[in-house]
Homo-oligomer: A and B are copies of this chain.
Amino acid sequence: MTQDRILMAHGSGGLMSQRLIDEVFKQAWQNEIMEPMLDGAILQMPAGRLAMSTDSFVITPLFFPGGDIGKLSICGTVNDLLACGATPLYLSTAFIIEEGLPIAELRLIAESMAKTAREVGVKLVTGDTKVVEKGSCDGVFINTTGIGIIPEGIDYRPPRIQPGDKVIVTGYVGDHGLAILAQREGLTFSTPVVSDCAALYQLEEMVAKYGDAIKCMRDPTRGGLATVLNEIAVQAGIGIRVKEAAIPVAPAVKGACDMLGMDPLYMANEGKMVMFVAAAAARDLLFDLHQLSPTANAAIIGQVDAGPSGLVLIETELGAERILGILEGEHVPRIC
């Protein structure tokens, strides 16, 4: 491309748009479904339950320790599909780009998306590119929308959760939120904090063998673990009791949060899953989770009670019990 920055004409829908798509996106993502360049992708699907999930990514900065907006945009939607019990198959991608963005950055982002999609086994099948004037967006915003097939026998929904079920979180909480905050504020710690940004595609096959013992899964992104537990307690009409001492937090994150007066239970994660599982299967599942590197620090953090309905109670490290509320107000903005 002769230009090295995005111009308004790259969003015109004409010749410059075509060149941008050909030289940046198609080059990174080439596949036979996107190739005909129709108004949409044509996909052969089997009959059954389809999951559909959408997310826009507005994270700042665009590149951060452990990932970038491109990787994040694939992982976020893939993890949402996995939480629905679906095998992620196809993603659409839509870019809103600020005039002046270096095309080299856009290329890095597109390549990062391609790499992550290849790992996961999803295809980027259709897309859209818009350009807005300098100052009308912040660098680049990406939407990905994904679809996947839910295999027979898989049914992850809050109403299936019952008293006695165990609550598992698949690893350290708060890494992503703290990594973004630290980079943005120029904070450095003796042990660097890296985002957990990852697509948990390896979970799918492993978890499927537990059949209906898995009741519900959700990825604790914005609002953190505490917010997701509260959402599910309300949606399932159950109470949740967790033990603070059982919740895995990386030492560096714990130290930094203590220093900054922040709570890792409200910090965003981008490569974690909260799982509700029948008590009888919990220990075997935990053993299996420990065999996979993205879930090596998984832990049983609590259990489900009949009530108080819609409430999450936490037993603190000092042995007291208190309500763990949903995130109120604002925490760290634009972390995804």
Residues in A lying within 8 Å of B, measured CB to CB = 7-9, 11-18, 36-58, 79-81, 83-84, 86, 90, 92-96, 125-128, 130-133, 135-138, 141, 143, 145-147, 150, 157-158, 218-219, 221-223, 227, 231, 235, 266, 268, 326-331, 333-334, 336
Contacts and interface: CB of A to CB of B under 8 A. Distances in A.
A81 B39 CA distance: 7
User: Which 7 pairs show the lowest CB-CB distances between chains A and B?
Assistant: A13-B222, A14-B327, A40-B53, A13-B223, A145-B145, A54-B92, A47-B47
B330 A8 contact: yes
Copies in the complex: 2
Nearest to A227: B14
Contacts of A227: 13-14
Q: Is the interface of A mostly helix, strand, loop or mixed?
A: mixed
Nearest to A93: B54
Nearest to A37: B235
B132 A135 contact: no
14 contacts: A11-B222, A11-B334, A14-B331, A18-B326, A36-B235, A39-B53, A40-B52, A40-B83, A40-B86, A41-B51, A50-B50, A52-B125, A54-B143, A55-B128
A95 B7 CA distance: 24
Contact of A135 (B11, B45, B135, B326): B135
A143 B94 contact: yes
Contacts of A56: 94-96, 128, 130, 143
B53 A14 contact: no
A49 B54 contact: no
A90 B11 CA distance: 27
Among A53, A158, A268, A326, the most chain B Cβ lie within 10 Å of the Cβ of A53
Contacts of A158: 36, 38
A3 to B, nearest CB: 12
Given A13-B227, A130-B334, A137-B137, 9 more contacts: A15-B329, A16-B330, A37-B235, A39-B219, A40-B80, A40-B84, A50-B147, A52-B126, A135-B135
A58 to B, nearest CB: 5
Nearest to A95: B56
Contacts of A126: 52-54
Contacts of A16: 328-330
B11 A54 contact: no
Nearest to A46: B47
Contacts of A147: 50, 52, 147
Contacts of A40: 51-54, 80-81, 83-84, 86, 146
Among A16, A48, A128, A235, the most chain B Cβ lie within 10 Å of the Cβ of A128
Contacts of A92: 52-54, 145
Given A12-B327, A41-B52, A54-B93, A36 B157 contact: yes
B13 A96 contact: no
A17 B43 CA distance: 34
